[in-house]
Amino acid sequence: MFSSLFPLIAFTAWTILLVLIVVSFRTVQVLAGSKKSNEFPAWIQHGSDLYWRIHRAHLNCVEGLPVFAVLVLTFILSGYQNDTFDLLAWIVFGARILQTGAHLSGGGVWNVNVRFTGFIIQYICFTAMLVILVRSIL
């Protein structure tokens, strides 16, 4: 079995967890009568700072998940196995957790630098995974 599939599933689960938190917050607000269902405008901060950070962290996951999924699933479909590819997939997931944790912890310079580091690590890994993938199918 391909071990790169596990970090993809973990990344997906993490994305789902974050959206469930966002949905829970919104549902409580609507059911409590403090907000109407149409009072959560896109791209305009609403709710607490922590809620908004969770919302943005979820959107960041949604942006990276398709790239990660295409790389991993195409690699698996190619039938080629590569330990480095699998390791990079785990690093992507770890960097995603780092990025989300930094995002949730605040907006200071240090937090943003750590968040950006997590982002850059993911895209360096994506690039290396793409190179491995292209080499494996050529």
Residue matched to tokens 């071990």: 3
Alpha-carbon gap, residue 1 to 60, rounded angstroms = 29
Q: What is this structure's pTM?
A: 0.92
Tokens of 47: 């709710």
Structural domains for the chain: 4-136 (1.20.120.550)
Q: For 4-61, how does the pLDDT look when each residue is reduced to its tens digit (9 = 90+)?
A: 999 999 999 999 999 999 999 999 999 999 989 988 887 788 888 999 999 999 999 9
Least confident of 12-26, 35-49, 80-94, 110-124: 35-49
